[in-house]
Chains A and B, each alone.
Chain A
């Protein structure tokens, strides 16, 4: 079955860059996502990348995809205290035999930004 793995914790100083990594196992993944969860809130989509892309940049966010190694990363430039949250990687597989397109989430990486 599908599996998405992330490291559990990352601590960075304010102003530095943060790099959050994710590995996945499903080679049929079509879309890969990064979601942000602030304390007490639901998840919010930050950005996504289609599987035929290598990189996507959106303001302070850069997503890198290595499809050969099934490795996804999220780089946050000039990390701010407001970036402190849990970041979830997720992948959407191709349709299964039942016609469903399940999205599998990783365990989340807690980012702590030290002022």
Chain B
């Protein structure tokens, strides 16, 4: 079946511009995560959606970052007034509820801020 998809795969933007990254989770997965992975570093948790509950936004690094998800469908991560330090790969993952809580990852969006 279809996995987690993300778009665009690559995005180059100028400093100060806004960007919107999209994640299509696996159908039926109630939970969705966004992570940031800087070059040569581990995953940095950004935000977590679980069904219709209020999201856990504790990982968002600044108020320039926001994310939305309607129900159990597509999610968008928006970065306003991008800075060079925002350059990273942004990974999305989804999972079902219960069980081992395995997360299924998308291929990521590589964001480069020039």
Interface set of A (CB-CB < 8 Å, partner B): 31, 33, 35, 40-45, 48, 88, 92, 98-108
Q: How far is the CB of B13 from chain A (nearest CB, A)?
A: 20
- CB-based contact B56/A100 at 8 Å: yes
Known: A42-B93, A42-B106. 6 other contacts (CB 8 A): A31-B101, A45-B103, A45-B104, A102-B45, A103-B101, A107-B42
Q: Is residue B70 within 8 Å, beta carbon to beta carbon, of the partner chain?
A: no
Q: Check B105–A102 contact: CB distance below 8 A.
A: no
Complex alpha-carbon distance, A48 and B107, angstroms: 21
User: Smallest distance from the beta carbon of A72 to chain B beta carbons, Å?
Assistant: 15
Looking at the assembled complex, report how far the CB atom of A76 sits from the nearest CB atom of chain B, in whole angstroms: 19
User: Chain B residue with minimal CB distance to A1?
Assistant: B58
Q: Is B12 an interface residue (CB 8 A)?
A: no
Which residue from chain A places its CB closest to the CB of B41 in the assembled complex?
A107
The distance in angstroms between the C-alpha atoms of A98 and B104, with both chains bound, is 23
**B43 partner, pick from A44, A48, A88, A92, beta carbons under 8 A:** A88
Q: Confirm or deny: B60 has a beta carbon within 8 angstroms of a beta carbon on chain A.
A: no
CB neighbours (8 Å) of B104 from chain A are: 45
Say yes or no: is B62 at the interface (Cβ < 8 Å to chain A): no
User: B48: CB under 8 A from chain A?
Assistant: yes
Hey, what's the 0/1 contact readout for B14-31 against A, CB within 8 Å counting as 1?
000000000000000000
Q: Are A105 and B43 in contact (CB under 8 A)?
A: yes
Q: Is B56 in contact with A98, judged by CB distance below 8 angstroms?
A: yes
Most buried by A among B33, B41, B42, B48: B42
- State whether A92 touches B101 (Cβ < 8 A): yes
Q: Would you call A103 and B56 a contact (CB within 8 A)? A: no
